Amino acid sequence: MNLIPLPAESQIGDRLIEATLAGIPSRSTRRAYAGCLRDFLRWWRSSGPTAFDRDAVHQYRLDLESRVGASRVNQALAAISHLARECLAHHVIDHETADGITGVKRITVRGSRTGRWLDEQQVRELMNAVGSPTTGHGTLQRLRDQAVLGLLLGAGLRREEVSRATVAQLEQRDGRWCLVNMENKGRVRTIALPDWVYNDIRAWMDASGVRDGNLIRGFNGRHMLAAFSGQSVHNTASAYGVRPHDLRRTFTSRNLENGATLLQIMNALGHSQLSTTQKYVNSLATMRRGSAACDFAPNPKPGLTTP
C-alpha cells in the first residue's frame, strides 16, 4: 500500500479543504468543519506523522479528547472523514486508507446536555455587565441588550420569539403588561411581563423611537435595522458568557422555587407536553438541590402568573 502524505502547507492542501467544504450543504456545518480542519492541519504541522492514515487520525482523536468534549471530538472526526473521502476522489490516498480513516470510532455520548442555571450571584453579575458602559457599547445598544436580557431571563422567551415579538403584541391586561398572541409551532400563549422587564423594554423603546413593527432591533454600524435575528440574540447572550437557553432555564428555576405549578411553568414556556417541562424540573432538582433561589432584580416580584 502506497501512502501519500497529506500536504498540509501546500496549495493542494487548501484546495482539498475547499473541495471538502463545498460538498457540505449547511452553511453552519461548513463553518464548523472549516474550523475543525484548520485545527487538524495545525496539529499535523506541529506533531502529526507523515502519512494521512487511520493511526494518524486516531492519535489526533486522543489529543482532542484531552482538550475538548465528546461532541467536539465527534464533529472533528466527521470533518476529517469528509476530507478523507475528498482525498480519495483526488487519488491522494487509496480506498483502504480512506476506509481506515472513516472507521476511526466516535466517542459514545451518554445522556444529554442538561444545560446551566445561573445562581443569584451570576444573575446579578450578568445584569450589571449588560448595563455597564465598560462593555464598549453605546447607550442605545446597552438599553437594547437589557431589554433582550429581560425577555430571556424574566419572561422565559426563546431567542426566536425575542426576534419575532412586535410592538403590537405589547398590551396591558388586568393591570399588567403582557406579550399577547406569542405563537410557536401552532401554540399561542400570553406572557405576563414582570415590572422590571417592562420598564427595560419601555426604556429601550423611548430611547430608540421604536413605535411599531419588531419590538427589538439590530444595528448595522450606527444604523438601526428593521429586525433582530435569532443569531443576534445568541451573540448578545454569548458575549456575556451564557447561552440564551440557559436564561430560559433560569427563568424556570426561579418560578419553580417561587411556588409556580408545573402546569403554570409549561404554559409560560409554551411547551406542548408536560413531560418536556418535567425534564427541566428533574434536571433542576439534581443540579440545584439545596441552593438559593435566583433573584432577577433588586426588588423581584415573586411568583409567576398567567393572565
CATH code of the domain in which 54 resides: 1.10.150
Is the predicted pLDDT of residue 4 greater than 50, yes or no? no
CA-CA distance, 99 to 88, in Å (whole number)? 10
CATH for 245: 1.10.443.10
Which pLDDT does position 305 carry in this prediction? 33
The three three-digit cell numbers of residue 9, written as one number: 502547507
Q: How confident is the model at residue 124 (pLDDT cuts 50, 70, 90)?
A: confident
Q: In terms of C-beta distances under 8 Å and separation of at least 24 residues, what long-range contacts does 17-20 make, across chains too? A: 17/41, 17/83, 19/86, 19/89, 19/90, 20/79, 20/82, 20/83, 20/85, 20/86
Looking at the structure, tell me whether residues 128 and 96 fall in a common domain.
Answer: no
Domain coverage including residue 70:
11-102
Average pLDDT over residues 139-143: 86
Q: What is the pTM of this model?
A: 0.57
The three cell numbers of residue 140 are: 442605545
| Whole-number pLDDT of residue 283 | 64
Q: Model confidence at 131, in pLDDT bands (50, 70, 90)?
A: confident
**Mean of all residue pLDDT scores within the chain:** 79
Residue 111 inside a domain? The answer is no
Grid coordinates representing 248 are 430560559
